[in-house]
Structure 1
Amino acid sequence: MPNQPFPVIRWSADEGERAGTPLVVALHGRGADERSFAGLAPHLPSGTTVASVRAPIPEGGGYAWFANRGVGRPLPDSLAETSDRLFGWLDTVEARHSSVAVLGFSGGMAMAGGLVLAEPGRFSAAVLLSGTLPWDAGLSEETDRLAGLPLFWGRDTADAVIPADLVARTGTWLRERSGADLRERTYPGMGHGVSVQELRDIHDFLATAPPRAPGGRVTS
């Protein structure tokens, strides 16, 4: 990977205001950057801190999370390397927060999915938007892998950016095998993006997700 600081983060709150707050790690889409989620925090429950992270690989005027062999198909070694670096960063910040959730859009959904599949106990909730899980990237697909994890999956069923077979595979696994506490929502006419209604639904989802401290301990 390029020799650049990692991760580059745009925080929604100053350092002195973050202690004890729920943390949402926001992962942008392929070819975008950390500015994509700069305005996310006001749409989330009050007091939430957002860390909008820049992906490490320059691509298309922005950045990508992993090298790939086609849309939604990460190369296993590349996905694993970025995951390791993100987990290493989380090790330095998660203890300051009451919980850690991950939110990913498009290519960021594949990255977020890779994180929760690798270490589901690290997260209090996951928000997966307009993408696919990182199939065939060497991650466990065992039944109940995400047992009890509150998970929001939002998309437009007519979104043509992500291959339909990968979306269908994601849906089948999340509904039937993942063990996640799944909240699935579709938004006709939204396209490959995030709508105001979806942001409202994400707010409500995070507001009602059981608080779970880093490491997987349910706190209430």
Structure 2
Amino acid sequence: MHAIITKGTPLIFAFHGTGGDEHQFAGLTAQLWPGAGLVSPRGTVSENGANRFFRRTAEGVYDMVDLAQRTEDMIAFIRTHQEAGVPSYAYGYSNGANILAAVSFRAPDLFDRLALLHPLIPFAPSDQPGLGGRRVLITGGRRDPIAPLATTEALTAYYRRQGADVSTSLHSGGHELRPEEITALQAAFAD
């Protein structure tokens, strides 16, 4: 797995969207958190030449066996890059948000703070009490054709039921990142 890795405090894990790579959020991370470390993996699945973190069989239909295996692989990758005593925060956009959410369902202790930008979780995750008290930001567009508002709201409700400290930032547009989401992301990782 290719990745950008730099040292610093806190340690930020950034997960790209479909078609992105490990460089997609390097500049944004440096801008929002100067001096922070960065771990930014590249998805190892190619979908018509576009990098992804796991396979899907159609738009919004996930290969659940592949997702389960790649989630476990990503958990192992994350653990090898964390450092004792250094807070770990993570954010992901679109497909990156989806793998990050899947990681949180299985290993809620990995990150001190989590931001899911335009996630699409089209299945009902199992309860995960380890998410209790975790800070989670979820963003999206009210007219997002890829991550519909109803699924964003269902995921928000899931994290709240688990006892997570959830905040949201929703805009009137589609699947694009907007400035108010970036502001919410920066605030979510502020002390």
Q: Normalising to structure 2: TM-score of the pair?
A: 0.88
Instruction: Write the distance in 1 (CA, Å) between the matches of 2:122 and 2:88.
Output: 21
Q: Bigger relative contact order, structure 1 or 2, given CA contacts below 8 A and separation 6+?
A: 1
Instruction: Write the distance in 1 (CA, Å) between the matches of 2:157 and 2:57.
Output: 22
- Shift of the 149–124 alpha-carbon distance from structure 1 to 2, 3 Å rule, reads same
The amino acid that maps onto 1:179 is G
User: Is residue 2:167 matched to residue 1:180?
Assistant: no
Q: Structure 1 residue aligned with 2:3, among 6, 9, 13?
A: 9
Query: Residue 104 of structure 1 contacts residue 129 of structure 1 at CA under 8 Å; is this kept in 2?
Result: yes
What is the CA RMSD across the aligned residues, in angstroms? 2.1
- Counterpart position of 1:206: 189
- Shift of the 188–165 alpha-carbon distance from structure 1 to 2, 3 Å rule, reads closer
Q: Structure 2 residue aligned with 1:50, among 33, 38, 54?
A: 38
- Counterpart position of 1:119: 107
Give the SS at the match of 2:166. Answer: strand
- Counterpart position of 1:83: 71
Query: Residue 103 of structure 1 contacts residue 127 of structure 1 at CA under 8 Å; is this kept in 2?
Result: yes
- Shift of the 73–145 alpha-carbon distance from structure 1 to 2, 3 Å rule, reads farther
Q: What is the 5 A alignment of 1:54-69? A: 54-69=42-57
User: Is residue 2:127 matched to residue 1:141?
Assistant: yes
Gaps of 5+ in 1: 1-5, 209-220
> What percentage of aligned pairs have identical amino acids?
25
Give the SS at the match of 2:154. Answer: helix
4+ residue runs of structure 1 moved beyond 4 angstroms?
Answer: none
- Counterpart position of 1:196: 179
Instruction: Write the distance in 1 (CA, Å) between the matches of 2:31 and 2:184.
Output: 10
The amino acid that maps onto 2:151 is L
Query: Residue 14 of structure 2 contacts residue 39 of structure 2 at CA under 8 Å; is this kept in 1?
Result: yes
Structure ID, larger Rg: 1
**C-alpha displacement of 1:26:** 1.0
Query: Residue 120 of structure 2 contacts residue 146 of structure 2 at CA under 8 Å; is this kept in 1?
Result: no
- Shift of the 65–200 alpha-carbon distance from structure 1 to 2, 3 Å rule, reads same
The amino acid that maps onto 2:4 is R
Instruction: Write the distance in 2 (CA, Å) between the matches of 1:117 and 1:128.
Output: 13
**C-alpha displacement of 1:97:** 6.1
Instruction: Write the distance in 2 (CA, Å) between the matches of 1:103 and 1:111.
Output: 10
- Shift of the 162–96 alpha-carbon distance from structure 1 to 2, 3 Å rule, reads same
- Counterpart position of 2:97: 109
Instruction: Write the distance in 2 (CA, Å) between the matches of 1:97 and 1:71.
Output: 40
User: Is residue 2:116 matched to residue 1:128?
Assistant: yes
Instruction: Write the distance in 1 (CA, Å) between the matches of 2:99 and 2:80.
Output: 20
**C-alpha displacement of 1:96:** 5.6
Query: Residue 140 of structure 2 contacts residue 149 of structure 2 at CA under 8 Å; is this kept in 1?
Result: no
